[in-house]
Structure 1
Amino acid sequence: MAVVLREAWSMVVPDPNGRHGPLPPLMLALTFVTGLVDAVSYLLLGRVFVANMTGNVVFSGFAFAGAPGFSLAASLVALAAFLAGALAGGLLIHRARTHRGRMLQYALLAETVFVAAAAGVTLVSGTPYTGGVRFALIVLLGLGLGVQNAASRALAVPDLTTTVLTRTLTGVASDSRPAGGGGSRAGRRIPSAAAMLLGAMAGAAAVLHGRPTLPLVLTVVILAAASTVATVLARSDAPWTATLTT
C-alpha cells in the first residue's frame, strides 16, 4: 500500500526534474475533462462519444445492424470530427518540433477554443440539443478531443493517455506480481481511471439535475487554467521538455 501511495503522490505532485516534469497532473486534469465531455455527448447528444472512438465504432456496428436508439450519422460525424481534430493536433505538435511544453501549449489553446465554442452553442440554443445544434456540438467537441488525443500521444506520459483506459486497467492486473509481472504500478494507473470516473460522475450529475451547460463551462475553465500553466511551461528548457526518443 505504501508503494501505491508513493506512486499516486508522484502523479499529483511530480518531481520537477523527473523525465515527465509537471506533465502528469496536467494529463490527469485532461482525463477528468474527458469524463465531463463524454457525459454530455452520451447523455445529451444521443448515444455518441466525442472522445471514446472505440465506442463510436461499436455504436456504428449497432446502427448498421438496425439496433434502435443508435444514430449512424452521429457516430460517423463524431469519428470524422475526431480525426480532423487529431490531424490539426498533429500539425500543431509538429510545429512545436521537439519541445513538449510548446506541444501541450498549442494543443490546449486549440482545444480550449473548440470547447468554448461548443459551450457557447449550448448557452444560446437551449435544450434539447437536436438537429443542426446537435451535430454542431458533436463536431466542435470531437475536434477538441481529437486535438487533445494527438497531444497526449505525442507527450507519451506513461499510463496517461487521457481517454483510453483499457490498456491502463489491463496493466494493473497483468503486470502485477501475482500474475508474474514486475509490479502493477497501480499507484500510477488507478488515478487515471479515478479522474475519468469523477469527471463522468460530475458531468452526469449536472445533466441529470437540469444543468446541461455546466459540464462544458467547467471544462472551459479547466482548459483555460491548463493552457495558462502550459504557456508558462513552454518557456522552460528543463530536461523534461525534450521529446522522447524511445
Structure 2
Amino acid sequence: MNSPAIILVRPQMGENIGAAARAMLNFGLDHMRIVDPRDGWPNERAVALASGAGRVLDTAMVRDTLGEVCADLNYVFATTARSRDLTKPVMTPERAMQHARALSAQGLKVGVMFGPERAGLENEDVIRADALITVPVNPDFASLNLAQCVLLTAYEWRRQDADIPPEVLELAGARLAEGGEVEHLLDRLVKALDARRFFWPEHKAASMQASLRNMFHRLPLTETDTRTLHGVVRHLAERTPKD
C-alpha cells in the first residue's frame, strides 16, 4: 500500500523538520516533501534532530512551490487549527487516515500538508486540498508543534487496520486526476473566463478565482473528467458571444 506523503510547507526550523522525520519513521512513513524551507536545504539541525531517521531526509523531495510537490498527488489533506472561509470536508486525524488508506488501497497517491510553525497554512495553500484535518484539542490551548501534528497523523495511519472503509470512491476503471492536471485545467478555464470579463467587478476578481479553484479541487475529478472539461472550455472559447 502506498503510504501518504508528508508535506511540510515553508517550515521555519530545521529542528522541527528533523523531529517530523523521526515521528514519521516511528509509524512507518518515509515519504517527506518539503516546500521552500526558510533556512535552505540541506539543514544540519534537521539531520541532528532526525537521529536514526536520517534516511527520511536523505530521500525527501524539496521544491520551491506547493504546486510542484502536489502535481502527482490524487488526494491531498490540509491540517489546520482554525476555521476557514472555504467549503471542504473536515475530518479528525483518525477519519482522515481511514480515508487515506482506502484511497491508497486503490493505488492512488495521497498527501498531507502541514503549515509553517508560526501561523500554519495560508488559504492559498488550503485551496489545493481536497479535505481538512482538524485535531480535537483543548480550545483554550490549541497550538500544536509541527512534529507533534505529524506524529498524530502518522500514528493514526499506522493503527488503522487493513479494512477499507465504506467511503471508497467507485472509479469504474478511471483514475482520479493528478493535482497538476487539475491546475492545468483551472489555468485554462480562468484565462478563458477572464477574456469574457467574467471576473467582475475587478476588486472581487481574486476572491472569485479562489472560490472557483477551491470548488474544482474539492471535486473528485477523474482524468476523463479533466479531458471533457478541456473540450468544454475550448468549445466555449471558440464561440463568439452574442450581444
State whether TM-score is above 0.5.
no
Q: RCO greater where, 1 or 2, for CA within 8 Å and sep 6 or more?
A: 1
More helix as a share of residues: 1
Structure (1 or 2) with the larger CA radius of gyration: 2
TM-score by length of 2: 0.29
TM-score by length of 1: 0.29
